[in-house]
Amino acid sequence: MSFQNSGCDQSSDTEHVYGWITDLCNKETRFLAMLELWERRSHIDSLGPLLWHSFGAVSGLLQEVVSIYPTIYTDNELNGQQSHRICAAIGLIQTMASHPFVGIQLMRCQFMCYLMPLLKMTSQSRAAEHVRLSVLGVICGLLKSDHPEIVGYFLGTELIPLILRQLELGTSMSKVLCAFVLYRILEHDVGLKFASRRLARRLHLIHTLARVVHQLTLEPGPHLKHVVRIYSRLADHPQSLELILKLLPAQIRNGYFCQESLPGYESASLELADLNRKLNDKNVKKDLSHEE
């Protein structure tokens, strides 16, 4: 292990890091250790693998996750101290998830099963939102590895329904992360086929997207780019394309989002152009077939 900050006493810092990792095994010392490691994560090479291979470290972080289950399943309300503590633990889990090798191992040992319930919290408090964002950060870290096995794993969970609910009802930052997660899943062929396989699944997805677009006309948000990307990716599947042609929101059809004066929509122009090209190609082919 090495440190990027050459001005530090490397030997002394290494001992401190190993000490903090050891402290993760003890509930009394765990919180301070999590904070110290999280604060220095960018200065510690290979912190993810180091945590994964250290005796008791992952177990200690898992204990922090499950310790708040009684709270979220009874009164569904976390206080600031609980949120701070669980977010510190999830932050270190994200460090592991973002590492290509360790992320796969986390997925294979079903570790995400312990984080997914945290996305079910309906509380809109700041404490609960910080937890949701932390969990979404772990999921984004896993999906960034672009490994098809990870996409296949998430398709076997209830992630997509949870993501769609947050995409519609969450805060602005939650919506950005959820839109990114959904697009990354659909980017893979297995994800696109899964989302388009059944009519009920296609309807749920496209109706939710339509409601999100309507929300964007009332309250601009930076997730429009990813939402349009999702539409464009769905348009690559024939059955989903047919449904999009019937149910595409008028705000996209009439060029509402092409207005340059709309804040936050400038970055979506390329995605809107790509979606319109796919829809126009389909309409042209349909017209040609009728003429024949």
Exposed e or buried b per residue across 126-161, where buried means at least 16 C-beta atoms within 10 angstroms of its C-beta: ebbbbbbbbbbbbbbbbbebebeebbebbbeeebbe
Distance from C-alpha of 227 to C-alpha of 233, rounded to nearest angstrom: 10
Cα atoms in the 13 Å half-sphere on the side-chain side of 204: 15
Which of the two residues, 30 and 254, has the higher pLDDT score? 30
Tell me, yes or no, if the two domains 1-145 and 147-292 fold the same way: yes
Domain 1-145 falls under CATH 3.20.20.370: no
- The answer to whether 269 and 238 are in contact (CB under 8 A) is no
7 pLDDT tier (thresholds 50, 70, 90): very low
41 pLDDT tier (thresholds 50, 70, 90): confident
Radius of gyration of the chain (CA): 22
The domain spans of the chain are: 1-145, 147-292
Domain 147-292 falls under CATH 1.25.10.10: yes
Distance from C-alpha of 31 to C-alpha of 65, rounded to nearest angstrom: 12
- The answer to whether 23 and 30 are in contact (CB under 8 A) is yes
Per-residue pLDDT at 8 exceeds 70? no
This prediction has a pTM of: 0.88
Q: What is the pLDDT of residues 243-282, one digit of tens each?
A: 999 999 988 888 777 666 565 566 677 888 888 888 887 6
In this structure, what are the phi and psi dihedrals at residue 235, rounded to the nearest 5 degrees?
-65, -10
Minimum mean pLDDT among 22-26, 120-124, 139-143: which range?
A: 120-124
Per-residue pLDDT at 3 exceeds 60? no
How many CB atoms sit inside 10 A of residue 227's CB? Answer: 25
Minimum mean pLDDT among 119-128, 132-141, 207-216, 237-246: which range?
A: 119-128
pLDDT reported for residue 102? 94
